[in-house]
Structure 1
Amino acid sequence: MEIKRNKLLKKIEEEYEVHQVCALLGPRQSGKTTLAKTYMKNIDDQVHFFDCENFLHLSQLENPLLTLEPLKGLVVIDEVQLKPDLFGTLRVLVDNNPDQRFLITGSASRDLIHQSSETLAGRIGYHQITPFSLEEVDSNWQRLWEVGGFPKSFLAKSSKISERWRDEYIKTFLERDILGLGLEVSPQVAGKLWRMLAHMHGQILNMHNLSKSLGIDQRTVKRYLNILEGAFMITLLRPWYTNVGKREIKSPKVYIRDSGILHRLLNFSSENFQFNPSIGSSFEGFVVEEISRYFDCYENAYFWATHNGAELDLIINKGMKKIGFEVKYTDKPCVTKSMRIASEALELEHLYVIIPGTHNFRLDEKITCLGIANCSDLISK
């Protein structure tokens, strides 16, 4: 089975209309290298490929200016965060050769952006490469939700193989990847933190409880959370503030970004998946991630809640409009008092109630029930 990522390929092509350097950022094994190689095959130009995990390629890049300057066409540098001193060389090359283009991939977003933003300012564009989205898997939402979007998990021949792959991914992340991300803790403590976050999935982040349970001060916990967010492992969904005089929640909500990874952290299996008591919060996180991808609005996505109990799972800004989303794992959705309060207080253009399945129907003049499989319809609205 082949998953076509034409939308992402188009973004790469369009990026070169603006910048000479295009950066693909995303978690390890999310498909960045495959996407880069697909783009390489599709273009009618000279292509040169360097993998910073390949010792032979690394030796060629020890003198990057001598190696890269004579090359024409497209130069692809994979896992560039392993060779951060390249950014200064790329600036020199871009400024002196307008016909040369670079496609770079990296797995540590914030570090990579920090390293490149100053030296390549005005010369580079960034694109987040997530695991497979619902739009890319032909709305096969049930499998995507259960096993997540990492290619080797989604495309596995059986649920057992998928579960085994995700278990190994978690193990490798805890034993190897955290060292390169700056988490100065043992794999055991990092694993405890990640599993605690999984149990807090969809809830207001409680820094005090995390700090107390881990025996780490809150400043350190906050730094670790920022690192995990920068590595695309979690989402810290920020609260939306209004001026309506209500006592609003001002702490973020936390989500494990990939639902398949979440399910293994919570010990979900294919046999108990539908009966797990955490299935509602899991579905909420899955929808929040998919909607944020559809609108490409990670920086403009929020939730809203008051201490009086009114809340809304997701708010996105689309131009001058605010659109609200409430997620319900039910086949009998209805309009609630909380929805009406949120719609009025936030002055929403429209509110969508997202449920499992494919059903679409109006609940009210400004409230529509939308099956998760049809969320792509929102893009054209």
Structure 2
Amino acid sequence: MLPRPFDIAALVELLSDAPIVTILGARQVGKTTLARALAPHFPEVHHFDLEDPEDLARLAVPKQALSPLRGLIVIDEVQRQPELFPLLRVLADRIEPGARFLLLGSASLDLVRGASESLAGRVAFMELGGFGLADVGVESSQTLWLRGGLPRAFLARDDASSYRWRGDYIQSVLERDLPALGLRLPADAMRRFWTMLAHYHGQAWNGSELGRAMGVPDAKVRQHLDVLVGTFLVRRLEPWFTNDAKRVVKSPKVYVADTGLLHRLLQLRTHADLTAHPKVGASWEGFCIEAIARRLGARRDELWTWGLHSGAELDLFAKRGTQRLGFEVKLTDAPRVTPSMRSALAALKLDRLYVVHAGAHSFPMEDGIQALALSRLLVDLEPW
């Protein structure tokens, strides 16, 4: 397993500020491994996995089990026992707490809602993705793009092994994880929906079209999308509205969050398969968007897409406080400024617009517009 020093440092900082920290992320992105890597930073570490019958038995009387503990207390898959939240609030409010609680979960909707309501003012959230460029090094970016960032997929001995593992992962999600969240849809139907989403990767969401193709109402299709977004398997970029709302494209854009899973759904086994596929540009776009989000340290509610019915558009708009950044992604080593970029720069009042490309160098293009090589992302883009 690769070390993740940036994630460890961020997590230690959060735990020094808040009595309870919740790590959110898809299954097998490395949440448990990251939690175990915190051992040198605490005198004691206690781990409870709510999918382990033995640990469930230890928590049969939660207050009796948790109250005496000190150091770091890790509770994995905590969304399975939301009734723990009121007790954690009480324990976090002790005059001499002596303990920090680290909650791990792979279903954001119920977990965020439960933690936010029961632990208000006591909990901080951290979203963890799979491996990123900072973990694997830019020299491995092509492997990361093809296989994705799920640790076992990236670290597989070869592309074929990675491809097989990703197929098993998808099957497990469909047959085990999603039904456990209350999704009453046959695995084959959900696979079809997820595969259709892969073909829509990087496009504006069209629920009516997907609903007709599946033979289900629009509302049901939106529910399916919400589940995949809530389990961090799909990224949904909501549209940013400027003053002239009538001209703005109001549909969100959807991306399969991990390109390795995208390529498995599209049955792309090798780089040759990928580069020959019609979705190669959209795949690169999603890969770069995830890399940008990680580098900035941006939350989901700080990232949008933007477009006008006239045709002007921007792949990614990032806003925190008064800072406004735009990103347009191009699968080329010779990017050019377009009228659409100039429109976005003016309409969104961007501090800077970056054109993220596949070449080797970053360079200024026009006033306010900078070419940013993905290979230089960790050097030329400052984190927030």
How would you bin the TM-score normalised by the shorter chain? over 0.9
Residues 94 and 334 (structure 1), Cα distance of their counterparts in 2 relative to 1, 3 Å cut: same
Q: Which structure 2 segments of 5+ residues have no match?
A: none
2:85 aligns with 87
Q: Note the alpha carbon deviations across 1:329-369, whole angstroms, 9 max, x for none.
A: 11221111111122122221111111114321222122111
The letter of the residue matching 1:210 is: L
- Give 1:44 shift: 4.0
Distance 2:163 2:292 in 1: 25
Distance 2:9 2:383 in 1: 18
Distance 2:65 2:348 in 1: 55
2:117 aligns with 118
1:351 to 341, 353, 373: 353
Q: Note the alpha carbon deviations across 1:11-48, whole angstroms, 9 max, x for none.
A: 222123322111111110000000000112x1241221
Q: What is the DSSP-based 3-state SS (H/G/I as helix, E as strand, rest coil) of the residue aligned with 1:325? A: strand
Output the TM-score relative to the length of structure 2.
0.95
2:108 aligns with 109
1:195 aligns with 195
Give runs of aligned pairs for residues 241-252 of structure 1, distance below 5 A.
Answer: 241-244=241-244, 247-252=247-252
Distance 2:11 2:144 in 1: 25
Distance 1:380 1:213 in 2: 41
Deviates more, 1:96-105 or 1:321-330: 96-105
- Give 1:83 shift: 2.2
- Give 1:246 shift: 6.2
Distance 1:3 1:34 in 2: 10
Give runs of aligned pairs for residues 202-351 of structure 1, distance below 5 A.
Answer: 202-244=202-244, 247-270=247-270, 271-297=272-298, 298-351=300-353
1:74 aligns with 72
Residues 44 and 92 (structure 1), Cα distance of their counterparts in 2 relative to 1, 3 Å cut: closer
Structure 1 position 130 matched with structure 2 position 117: no
Distance 1:68 1:345 in 2: 53
Superposition CA RMSD, Å: 1.5
Query: Post-superposition, which runs of at least 4 consecutive aligned residues in structure 1 deviate over 6 A?
Result: none
Q: Which structure 1 segments of 5+ residues have no match?
A: none
- Retained in 2: the 8 A contact 1:329–1:355? yes
Distance 2:374 2:41 in 1: 35
Distance 2:20 2:344 in 1: 42
Q: Percent identity?
A: 42
- Retained in 2: the 8 A contact 1:182–1:227? no
Q: What is the DSSP-based 3-state SS (H/G/I as helix, E as strand, rest coil) of the residue aligned with 2:325? A: strand
How many residue pairs get aligned? The number is 379
- Give 1:58 shift: 0.7
1:141 aligns with 141
- Give 1:80 shift: 1.3
- Retained in 2: the 8 A contact 1:244–1:345? no
- Retained in 1: the 8 A contact 2:19–2:101? yes
Distance 1:123 1:345 in 2: 39
Distance 1:334 1:3 in 2: 37
- Give 1:380 shift: 5.6
- Retained in 1: the 8 A contact 2:24–2:105? yes
Give runs of aligned pairs for residues 29-108 of structure 1, distance below 5 A.
Answer: 29-40=28-39, 42-96=40-94, 97-108=96-107
